[in-house]
Structure 1
Amino acid sequence: MQKPKKFDRNLIVIGAGAAGLVTAYISAAVKAKVTLIESGKMGGDCLNTGCVPSKALIMCARLAHGARRSSNFGVILPEPSIDFPRVMQHVRDSIKAIEPNDSVERYTELGVEVLKGTAALVDPWTVKIVHSSGSEKNLTARAIVLAAGAEPIVPPFPGLDRVSYLTSDTLWERLSQLQAPPQRLTLLGGGAIGCELAQALARLGSEITLVERARVILPELDREVSAAVTVALEAEGVTLLTGHEAVEFEGGSDQKGGVLVLRNAEGRVKIEFDEVILALGRRAKTTGMGLEKLQLLENGKLKLDDCLRTRYPHILAAGDMAGPYQFTHMASYQAWYAAVNGLFGDIKKFAVDYSLVPSAVFVDPEVASVGLSEGKAREQGIDYEITRYNIGDLDRAIVDGAARGFVKVLTARGKDKILGVSIVGENAAELISEFILAMKYGLGLNKILSTIHIYPTMSEANKFVAGNWKRAHAPAAVLRLLAVFNRWRRK
């Protein structure tokens, strides 16, 4: 494998999802000659099968739920009628409206060469491109960024081939074919995708059963957060089967639907369904790109250093291919490191900072978190304190009919240094940004407390939790002296 004496490109990016698009954008902005290769749709999973369609569906479901609750505000409406084809049209329209931001035309204007086709590494510096037309082309590059994304995990359940199962990739096409939401829908997997889809489709009229092998849904989050989402889903009619493990599938009658066989502590349970969605996580796409040939994989996964580099320092990865966090915002964040380390890593390299990775689950009430959860703090032996604020006491939440949830902050013992935050409530994913900024720049709860927050807003919850911390840490000796002083001043 002889290194070329000169290169066709400064950078080649494989994959035009969030990570690939941002990597190409940054590279073009610093005047590098960059080629972006995509075999499918521009925008990747987020635009076409992930964030955008799911949030569009959630919005439709939220409106239906709001109509049912309108009598609480003195607005009497009939039970909403769900025009499901129009719901799905809104999903498609949302994708179409955002598509230009990720289009070939836009990135071409930005100075990126965009090629449609498959890509594979021939050697550490050469990428073979098979165009959609069938023609082939080899390009060399000083650096290569792998950003091909991820795909749904589909375990080899016995009998799975006898049912027409869906994944987050295939769900949207199937829903677009229906005149009404599936009557009986089973979701396998109680993570973010499963919980969001369960609530949205329940609000649109489906009878939902959500199955999770762990004892709780959203097991990676704070236990209080998981409990709050459990209460919300069950209140809306979602049947939660936690502590249940999928065993096998059986075909349904008349070739419709099917039966899912589960195992729990008591024995076996069977669930009939019209549609079943596998929401069991996603794994990096690593096949068909020549990664095995260059020994870039370890146990089927890319082995990367702290700078997102493989065993060949000029071959890097970003986004879902890199992990460990499969969030669109993480893909965009890693893209900066991939672009800069790819173009300039031989001069100066930068290690990715994973100390502040926020996440959100767009259920209602919304949940968001950053930093340490209580469970993780205990596991790491960190001495911490907990401060809470009940959003049910917040004026804006009360008038909006959103008086539920909490802000929970972990701080270092005796200090206002923020170690982690979990929020359950209206617009939690927006509220947490103030804490992310504070943690990023070392600002404690005292700084948040001394910052003016507009009244009445949900963001006041952040100030009030800081106020609760301050009251709990009021200097008792100083207050006693002040009491004596003020008593003297009254004489």
Structure 2
Amino acid sequence: MHRLLPSLFRHLAARRRLRRWPKPRRFDRNLVVIGAGAAGLVTAYIAAAVRAKVTLVERGAMGGDCLNSGCVPSKALIRTARLLAQIRNAPHYGIARATAEFDFAAAMARVRAVIREVAPHDSVERYAGLGVEVLQGEARIVSPWAVEVRTAQGTQTLTTRAIVIAAGARPFVPPIPGLAEAGYLTSDNLWDLRELPRRLLVLGGGPIGCELAQCFARFGSRVTLVEMAPRLLMREDADVSDRVAGRFRQEGVDLRLEHKALRCLAEDGEKALVAECRGEEVRLAFDQVLVAVGRVANTQGYGLEELGIPTTPARTVAVDECLQTLYPNIYACGDVAGPFQFTHTAAHQAWYAAVNSLFGGVRKFRVDYSVIPWATFTDPEVARVGLNEQEARERAVPFEVCRYDLRDLDRAIVDGEAHGFVKVLTAPGRDKILGATIVGEHAADLLAEFVLAMKHGIGLNRLLGTIHVYPTLAEANKQVAGAWKRSHAPQGVLRWLARYHAWRRG
């Protein structure tokens, strides 16, 4: 009963807030969705699938950042960079000489071609065919019941039972003196480059900075990566960071860890970043600087301030466990709501936003964040689900670690990719999986087995009992389960069996 009281008070307070706004007697729409990135597209699709009347409003390109400036273009660029690295490594495979004439402009043209090929999946035509009304223009929430949409044809106001905000995020640009004057790139405008920078300075050692730094180093740029923290990929365990950093150094990336950016200079045609490291200033010259220090939610310009919808300390739209904002009929999902900024979590949240906004009067669903996978597409790839060691310690969660090194895996040896590892955290004395981290070839693909296992409560014993094709990289998952089994073998039973077999021999 006591647990129900706060929820009841929140419900009554939300209803009182709604009463301040005139409620239409009839509504034009069941749902208006603002933003046509991953979260908005999935929300609108689900609403149309259950025959709701839904309008999707997008002011920019359909598909959002993922299609136009994020996942799709970056992975297309990574594919080219990886091919170049493989050609350079040809002697390892018995190919005495293999060369490639790299054309950066052609590689960027391929990126644009890939975007065009994927774009129909997220197009106006496709979603119109699915039953979604798509308006390309500026949306503004003028009341909890109404959204004003300004298009090239004029302005209209749509009344709606519910609203879902899926406005996405943008690159965060820190206020570094001189940065704007020197000029900078982000993941938004990087794709406009046509000439390969001779010297590229990357600000940020997170996933975006690491992926793109390695790409440009493989293309032939002299890459300097500046990171304020003591290591790359700070959300991962130290052994993961060390593997990635080691590969970067092998490939010529100049890692400047524990360097704090102070200011940018542009003097006599030379650009430079002045950074501080251990109390001393360091000058780092560059031709182009890529800012990759994180992303910030788009929370301004579409009416949140006027309605008094608050944001969090992380600068995302404040939502509850059901993705509901201050108003009970306004929801937010995807990057604009956090806490994760992945395309797959945006789509995951979209189901809850759609169902709760349309059927919340009957039943609401709390978002399940218990099994969230993610990957960084460096070489080696890094993929994780659940807890890693540092998070388990921070949360005081008891755990055991089981590890399998890919240098012992037959297929990894055959492919010349015998580096990396699979690491699994389990509950003490049990085969319950608390988290898994994979570093190596196709890590993101291999992780899916652990995601499935954690989602459905499958332990390492059952994973060990599952037949895996030989020889494949996926056998690494079975091997780590086998390592866990050996470390938890019942020693008393094994001693008894040894005596039994000795007796049988006479």
2:275 to 246, 250, 262: 262
1:274 aligned to which of 287, 292, 301 = 287
Aligned partner of 1:168 among 184, 187, 210:
187
- Using the alignment, how far apart are the partners of 2:316 and 2:418 within structure 1? 44
Once residues 279 and 164 of structure 2 are traced to their aligned partners in structure 1, the CA distance between those partners, rounded to angstroms, is 49
Partner of 1:115: 135
Counterpart of 1:362 in structure 2: which amino acid? F
Specify the alignment match of 2:16 in structure 1.
Answer: none
Matched, 1:157 2:176: yes
How many Å separate the matches in 2 of 1:233 and 1:281? 20
Moved more, 188-197 or 262-271: 262-271
Per the TM alignment, residue 355 of structure 1 is displaced from its structure 2 partner at its CA by 1.3
The alpha-carbon deviation at position 76 of structure 1 amounts to: 2.6
Equivalent residue for 1:106? 126
SS at structure 2 position matched to 1:208: strand
1:182-219, Cα deviation, whole Å (9 max, x unpaired): 10000000000000000011101110000111111100
Could you say which residue in structure 2 is the equivalent of 1:84? Answer: 104
Q: Point out where structure 1 has 5 or more consecutive residues left out of the alignment.
A: none
For 2:345, give the aligned amino acid: M
Which AA in structure 2 matches 1:98? V
Q: d(CA) in 2 for partners of 1:250 and 1:229?
A: 30
Counterpart residue number, 2:38: 18
- Spell out, residue by residue over 1:440-484, the C-alpha distance to the aligned partner (whole angstroms, 9 max, x if none): 111110011000000000000000000000000000111111111
Give the TM-score normalised by structure 2.
0.94
What residue is the counterpart of 1:341 in the other structure? 356
Q: How does 1:254-403 map to 2 (within 5 A)?
A: 254=269, 258-298=271-311, 300-403=315-418
Structure 2 residue matching 1:293: 3-state secondary structure: helix
**Distance in structure 2 (CA, Å) of the matches to 1:298 and 1:94:** 36
Using the TM superposition, give the Cα deviation of residue 379 of structure 1 relative to its aligned residue in structure 2, in angstroms: 1.3
Counting matched residue pairs gives 484
Superposition deviation, residue 77 in structure 1: 3.0
1:148 lines up with 2:161 in the alignment: no
Q: Is the 8 A contact 1:222 1:422 kept in 2?
A: no
User: CA shift at 1:252, angstroms?
Assistant: 4.3
Match of 1:235 in 2: 250
Contact 1:36 1:113 in 2 (8 A): yes
CA distance in structure 2 between the partners assigned to 1:288 and 1:252 by the alignment: 37
For 1:146 and 1:354, the matched residues in 2 are separated by 19
CA distance in 2, matches of 1:20, 1:208: 36
Tell me the SS of whatever aligns to 1:168. Answer: coil
Q: Name the amino acid aligned to 1:277.
A: L
Verify: 1:95 aligned to 2:115, yes or no. Answer: yes
CA distance in 2 between partners of 1:252 and 1:147 (Å)? 42
What residue is the counterpart of 1:413 in the other structure? 428
The answer to whether residue 452 in structure 2 is matched with residue 453 in structure 1 is no
Aligned runs of 1:431-450 on 2, under 5 Å? 431-450=446-465
The answer as to whether partners of 2:316 and 2:338 remain within 8 angstroms in 1 is: no
Q: How much does 1:155 deviate?
A: 1.5
AA matched with 1:359: W
Instruction: Provide runs of 4+ in structure 1 moved above 3 Å.
Output: 298-301
Is the Cα contact below 8 Å between 2:406 and 2:420 reproduced in 1?
yes
Looking at structure 2, the residues matched to 264 and 238 of structure 1 have their Cα atoms a distance apart, in angstroms, of: 18
Indicate if the aligned counterparts of 2:90 and 2:98 stay in contact, CA closer than 8 A. Answer: no
Residue 307 of structure 2 aligns to a residue whose secondary structure is coil
**Residues 1:34 and 1:266: Cα distance change in structure 2 (over 3 Å):** same
| Amino acid across the alignment from 1:161 | A
Instruction: Read off the aligned partner of 1:438 and give its amino acid letter.
Output: A
- Name the SS of the counterpart of 1:85 in structure 2: helix
Q: What is the DSSP-based 3-state SS (H/G/I as helix, E as strand, rest coil) of the residue aligned with 1:37?
A: strand
Which 10-residue stretch deviates more, 190-199 or 371-380? Answer: 371-380
Alpha-carbon deviation of 1:3?
A: 1.3
Structure 1 CA distance for aligned equivalents of residues 136 and 308 of structure 2: 26
Contact 2:62–2:122 at 8 Å: present in 1 too?
A: yes
CA distance in 1, matches of 2:152, 2:171: 24
3-state DSSP of counterpart to 1:46: helix
CA drift of 1:89 comes to: 1.3
- The letter of the residue matching 2:51 is K
Amino acid paired to 1:286:
T
Structure-1 separation of matches of 2:97 and 2:186: 35
1:137 aligns with 2:137: no
Alpha-carbon separation, structure 2, partners of 1:266 and 1:151: 32
Could you report, residue by residue, the CA deviation over 1:375-401 in whole angstroms, capped at 9, with x for unpaired residues?
A: 111111122110000011100000101
Q: Secondary structure at the match of 1:167?
A: coil
* Contact 2:185–2:288 (CA under 8 A) maintained in structure 1: yes
SS in 1 for 2:191: helix
Partner of 2:306: helix, strand, or coil?
A: coil
2:478 is the counterpart of 1:463: yes
Q: Deviations over 1:66-102 (max 9, x none)?
A: 0000111111334422111111111011101100000
Residue among 184, 209, 217 paired with 2:232: 217
RMSD: 1.0
After superposition, give the CA deviation of every residue in 1:256-314 in whole Å (9 maximum; x if it has no partner).
Answer: x6111101114100111000010010010011101011111235531110000001111
Letter in 2 for 1:218: L
- Counterparts of 1:201 and 1:364, CA distance in 2: 13
Whether 1:203 aligns to 2:218 is yes
